[in-house]
Structure 1
Amino acid sequence: NALITTAIGGDVATQVQQGEKQFDLVVRLERQYRDNPGEIANILVPTPGGPQIPLKEFADIRVMNGPSFIYRQDNSRYIGVQFSVAGRDLAGAVEDAMRQINGQVSLPEGYHLDWGGEYTEYTQSRAQLNIILPLTLGLIFLLLFALYSNLKFPFITVLGVVLSAPVGGLVALWLTGMPFSVSSGIGFLALFGVSVQTAVVYISYVNELRLGGTPLADAIRAGAVLRLRPIMMTALVAALGLLPAALATGVGTDTQRPFALVIVSGLFTRLLISIFLMPALYTLVARPDDRLEV
């Protein structure tokens, strides 16, 4: 193999130095001895016993179409087929291609398909997100439990966020035609964090009013009115700060735009819904003998 490779393709024999530069000196047969199958078949190959025999004595030399490079991975050959996705989401395009190939392409024995590239990174990130999302919600609940020292207020906080914040994000993705991606999933995580903060502002203030002797109904109503401005400022600062990224259409916005769009639209719906939802949820669970923490 080394002899044939050197005779036809050439091999570095030494290096030539000219001034401060070095160049490889490649040795191979002259063109007239390697430019057709007949000449290649006459290349003499040494045998273990010493004599040299022509290559044509133990190999068939012919011109065929084949790959210019042979790629290997994990000690196996593979053929890479690449394509780009435009006008639709990556996961949907790959899943559609999988269905068509499984239905129309029959692979020879010993062959198999592996879907790699960005799709592999997407599936890995999606699997990590399936673990991170419930873990994040669980940690938020534990922090709220540590704050209020009971289960009812953390429960209505998380329930209020789940019922209000994702609505805007999901509607925005649907209206813009964007698929649910890892970037938008991370956006929902950030959205939950900011939304929980607005709920804590309301519940803590109502608890403070109740500790001061304000009746339950009056405290719920006063909290909804007096904490409206701080809640709006908390949400709007985050939403307006990400608004340019949500509206951007230039190069590099494929990942940042879903993230920002989910947060901006989710915070607006969170504000609109939570104004009525949080007082209603607090009314359902609050009791005169509650242990109150602010």
Structure 2
Amino acid sequence: MRIKLSLFGPIIKYGGEQENELENYPSLAKALIVGVVLIFFILLFQFKKPGFALLIMTTMPLSLLGAGIGLWLTGYPFGLTSFLGIMSLMGIVVRNGIILIDYAEELRNKEGMSIKEAALASGRRRMRPIFLTSFAAAIGVVPMIMSGSTLWGPLGSVVCFGLLVSMILTLYVLPVLYYRLFRKS
């Protein structure tokens, strides 16, 4: 409950957890945008080409689908910890894209493969490391989901399902996008 004084007398407003969360969302959204921009510049520094940085960043929206499915399946509401889970998920799924694209570029430069061959080979060759790391991280947050906690359950749900869905989509979508975007170079 808040009491404000105005010219017309005191104003009483009732709030709660939802009001507090709504006050935090604008600053968290700014932090998310700053994080995404920083990730872009780190990728740009690593790969030296904006096309590669943007290609790897396409894994971020793929994780949002899984996060939404996870919240829907587990019945947890979207809240502050869900938002924090999405922020951490963005950094985790970018790693999968880096693993895939970096290996494809290595195959092109060192092995002399074509774009199509490198895309297919990197998808096949890096499937196991991407699967194992993503699956292990997803299983690691299952106790958070099973706890029934309104604080940690949504975060675990977002990370678990976001990782699993983005892992599958990354392994299929990213090599195709890599081929489609760079086949003329």
Q: Please say whether Structure 1 and Structure 2 have the same fold, judged by a TM-score greater than 0.5.
A: yes
Give, in angstroms, the shift of residue 202 of structure 1: 0.3
Q: Equivalent residue of 1:255, what SS?
A: coil
Equivalent in the alignment of 2:96 = 198
Q: Does 1:272 align with 2:168?
A: yes
Gaps of 5+ in 2: none
The CA distance in 1 between the partners of 2:174 and 2:94, in whole Å, is 11
d(CA) in 1 for partners of 2:77, 2:3: 32
For 1:49, the equivalent position in structure 2 comes to: none
C-alpha separation in 1, matches of 2:11 and 2:3: 13
Partner of 1:230: 129
Match of 1:121 in 2: 20
Residue deviations 1:162-192, cap 9 Å, x none? Answer: 1x21111101212333221110001011111
SS state at 1:113 partner: strand
Which residue of 135, 139, 146 maps to 2:45? 146
Q: Deviations over 1:123-145 (max 9, x none)?
A: 33222212111111111111111
Establish whether residue 132 from structure 1 lines up as the match of residue 31 from structure 2.
yes
Distance in 1 of aligned mates of 2:102 and 2:73: 36
Structure 2 distance, partners of 1:288, 1:117, is 56
The higher-RCO structure (CA 8 Å, 6+ apart) is: 2
1:78-101 Cα distance to aligned partner (Å, 9 max, x none): xxxxxxxxxxxxxxxxxxxxxxxx
CA distance in 2, matches of 1:116, 1:110: 19
Aligned 1:61-72 pairs, distance under 5 A: none
User: Could you say which structure has the higher helix fraction?
Assistant: 2
The residue number in structure 2 matching 1:11 is none
Distance (whole Å) between structure 2 residues aligned to residue 187 and residue 262 of structure 1: 6
Structure 2 counterpart of 1:177, from 75, 85, 109: 75
What is the deviation of 1:275? 1.7
SS at match of 2:41: helix
Query: Residues 28-39 of structure 1 correspond to what in structure 2 (within 5 A)?
Result: none
- Report the alpha carbon displacement of residue 284 of structure 1 after superposing the two structures with TM: 1.6
Structure 1 length-normalised TM:
0.58
TM-score scaled to structure 2, two decimals? 0.89
Q: Report if aligned partners of 2:55, 2:177 keep a CA contact under 8 Å in 1.
A: yes
State how 1:1-294 maps to structure 2 within 5 Å.
Answer: 110-162=9-61, 164-212=62-110, 213-249=112-148, 253-287=149-183, 289=185
CA displacement 1:190-222 (0-9 Å, x = unmatched)? 111110001100000000001111222111111
Identity %: 28
Higher Rg: 1
Deviation for aligned residue 1:117: 4.5
Given that 2:99 and 2:126 are in contact with CA atoms closer than 8 Å, whether structure 1 keeps it comes out as yes
- CA change 1:165–1:256 in 2 (3 A) is same
**Partners of 1:172 and 1:183 in 2: CA distance:** 14
Of stretches 169-178 and 113-122 in structure 1, the one that deviates more from structure 2 is 113-122
1 CA distance for matches of 2:106 and 2:41? 21
**Aligned 8 A contact 1:239 1:263 in 2:** yes
Structure 1 contact 168–266 (Cα < 8 Å) conserved: yes
- Does structure 2 retain, via aligned residues, the 8 Å contact 1:198–1:234? no
Q: Kindly provide the amino acid, as one letter, of the partner of residue 157 in structure 1.
A: I
